[in-house]
Structure 1
Amino acid sequence: MAQRGGRFDPDRISRELDWNLLRTFVVLADSHSITDAAARLRLKQPSVSAALKKLEDTVGRKLIDRSPGRYDLTEAGTLLYHEAVEIHGSVLRLSTLLRDLTDDVQGHVSIAVASHVVCPLFDQALERFHAAHPRASVAVEVRPSADAVEEVAAKRASFALCLVKAHDPKLEYRRLYREFFGLFCGPPHPLFGRPDLKITDLAGHGSVSFETDRLHDVLKPVTLLRAQAQMGPDITGISSHLEEVRRMIIAGLGIGPLPVHVAARDVAEGVLWQVPPYTDLPAIDVHVVWNPRTIRNRAEEMLLAELHQAIESTPIEQRTYR
């Protein structure tokens, strides 16, 4: 055990802790059983069990409760998991950082983005960045906002553009833009094309929405908007992607929320119809989220700096899309 005189021996842990054991533990923590973890790691079950025992012996704590009918992280296991995930992110970044040691900026930028992020300011920053550093590469992965923040915290994403429910003190946040959500229906819906609608006309109609459209989540204002309209309690369709929510609205599955500036073209083309209310719409802020403890390559630093500069030089009124 990693203890000395009844106390933990941090020097011994730092000497004996094997990164491969931590990597195995991350998979164990994300799995449902030893058997499940072994399948993910492509190892035999006894090897994974032995690795877990060795890690528990090294840190001097039980990490996973494997009593009959249970497979849960202990308090120590939960603590170690959060640290191991961050270490894992740092190790994965080593090859990117080393590859970036050239005269030209040719690093890779990984951006986690919520699906409804439509922001000319960001598009222009990305355009300027590519023009200045054409050898740098960018990957944009669409994720629910909570997952996007998680990717940043784990150092797997360079930064995120997303909604924020609660601020993690370990991360940094900056408002990128503000958007307003309205309610829309598609051509098959009985309210489509009616110019004389009142909010009372929405009562009882079914709806489609985003997974985060809940009282305890980031789209709470949209949830309250639907409640104000006294729409039916059942959500007929749900997705974390704007494109799929839009698809279901157009298909007539129900009335659904979309950012007004994003839906404007569809409304102009007769694909969507906005329904009441038309004023006092819920405002939703989209943030840039980054991890100050992440060691970034030059491409990441420059794109993030480009985005910060764009925010600083553009008044919030011009970053508010109505």
Structure 2
Amino acid sequence: MDRLDWNLLRTFQVIVQMQSISSASARLHITQSAVSQALRRLETQLDRKLIERSGGHFYLTTSGRHVYEIAEAVNGDISRLQLLLSSVDNDVVGEIKVLAASRIQSDVYDRFWANFRAHYPAINVHLDVMRSDDIIDTLRNATATIGIGLAPRPIKGLERYFFLRQRYAMFCGKGHHLFSAETTRLEDLANEDFVSFSSDIIGGSLSPLTIFRDQHGFTGKVIATSPNYDEIVRLLIAGYGIGCLPRHSAGLEVDRGRLRMLPPEDGICDVELHMLWKKDALTLAGQAFVDEFIHYMDDHDDDERARCSG
């Protein structure tokens, strides 16, 4: 009895409830062969015949009826245990350090943080804002274990979970001569200078923007750079050049009359944000964060994650 597999009792309970091996298979989402083997293993461990088959039907033996009653009681207790545990505060304690790219604007992301606090009130959070390339380097060097940033390709030694897709577009600020132009075509941008993120280089986390400019023959120089979104916006508004920004976040500045979106109207490219973590370095608190993030985001599709009420 010390070696009895309680999962066998659960399978036996479903067989009796469904009155069929095939129906039990469908209910448990396993093969009929696996259900039959589970029944044979249980009968072997108990050294009792539990079911007699006859004419396409089966009947419980006296031992089978006793085992079914026990199986119902055991699985009922397990269900009550789950309810009891879910009704008390989570007792995971500790501290996590999360590195995040700047200006992640998502209503779902905001709600996740509230949800995590509600589920893990004893976990302290240290949240740092950092360039995506620096996040990756920091995780590789094991001075932090969790990051949220741009990761256009798999990274050796790090796990990766897709979080948010950002559509980038071209913008100019109110200090730029194109801001007040009646009409602007893509070819009108060919000679304009650029304000760019520091990671907007071939091989960097924003390299799709560089590739787009090269493909369209833009000859303007990058005359101002910053790793920080707000400083890029400041330089654009001051008229230093044109630049690429996430469309959903820059839209707030467009509504305020400080930025103007430039061609092409459908934007330039999609850039993906991922949660990154070093699996073998996670503490219990860190693992709780990773599990909760994945579980929460899996309940929301791409459009919901990208939605921002401002």
Q: Which amino acid aligns with 1:237?
A: A
1:188 aligns with 2:140: no
Alpha-carbon distance between aligned partners in 2 of 1:212 and 1:109, rounded to the nearest angstrom: 26
Matched, 1:244 2:247: no
Query: Does the 8 Å contact 1:207/1:231 carry over to 2?
Result: no
Ranges in structure 1 where 5+ consecutive residues have no aligned partner: 1-102
Is 2:121 the counterpart of 1:150? no
What letter matches 1:176 in structure 2? F
Counterparts of 1:195 and 1:315 in 2: how far apart (Å)?
A: 38
Alignment equivalent of 2:293, drawn from 291, 296, 307:
307
Which of 292, 295, 310 is the aligned partner of 2:279?
Answer: 292
SS in 1 for 2:196: strand
Q: What code does the residue aligned with 2:295 have?
A: Q
Tell me the alpha carbon deviations over residues 49-93 of structure 1, each in whole angstroms, 9 at most, x when there is no partner.
xxxxxxxxxxxxxxxxxxxxxxxxxxxxxxxxxxxxxxxxxxxxx
* Equivalent pair of 2:152/2:271 in contact (CA under 8 Å): no
1:216-295 → structure 2 map (5 Å cutoff):
216-228=203-215, 230-279=217-266, 281-295=268-282
**Separation in 2, partners of 1:133, 1:321:** 25
SS in 2 for 1:224: helix
Q: Structure 2 matches for 1:44-123, cutoff 5 A?
A: 104-123=91-110
Aligned residues of 2:193 and 2:221 also touching (Cα < 8 A)? yes
Contact 1:178/1:321 (8 A) holds in 2: no
Amino acid at match of 1:310: Y
C-alpha separation in 2, matches of 1:274 and 1:208? 14
Q: Contact 2:192–2:221 (CA<8 Å) still a contact in 1?
A: no
Structure 2 unaligned spans of 5+ = 1-89
C-alpha separation in 2, matches of 1:233 and 1:183: 14
Offset, 1:308: 0.5
For the structure 1 residues 181 and 220, does the alpha-carbon distance in structure 2 shift closer, same or farther, using more than 3 Å as the test?
Answer: same
Question: Structure 1 length normalisation: TM-score?
Answer: 0.63
Partner secondary structure for residue 157 of structure 2: coil
Q: Is the 8 A contact 1:207 1:232 kept in 2?
A: no
Percent identity of equivalent pairs:
26
Say whether the 8 Å CA contact 1:172–1:292 is kept in structure 2: yes
Deviation at 1:176, TM superposition (A): 0.2
The structure with the larger Rg is 2
Change (3 A) 1:274 1:141: same
Matched letter for residue 202 of structure 2: L
Question: Is contact 2:133-2:199 (8 Å) kept?
Answer: no
Q: Give the C-alpha shift of residue 195 in structure 1.
A: 4.7
Give aligned pairs, total: 220
C-alpha RMSD of matched pairs (Å): 2.3
> Does 2:206 align with 1:213?
no
Q: Read off the aligned partner of 2:302 and give its amino acid letter.
A: I
SS at match of 1:217: coil
1:84-106 CA-partner distances (Å, limit 9, x unpaired):
xxxxxxxxxxxxxxxxxxx8544
SS in 2 for 1:245: helix
Cα distance in 1 for residues equivalent to 2:267 and 2:225: 25
Mapped contact 1:122–1:307 kept (Cα < 8 A): no
Residue 159 of structure 2 corresponds to 172
Aligned residues of 2:194 and 2:222 also touching (Cα < 8 A): yes
| 1:230 Cα deviation after fit | 4.1
Contact 2:167 / 2:267 at 8 angstroms: preserved in 1?
no
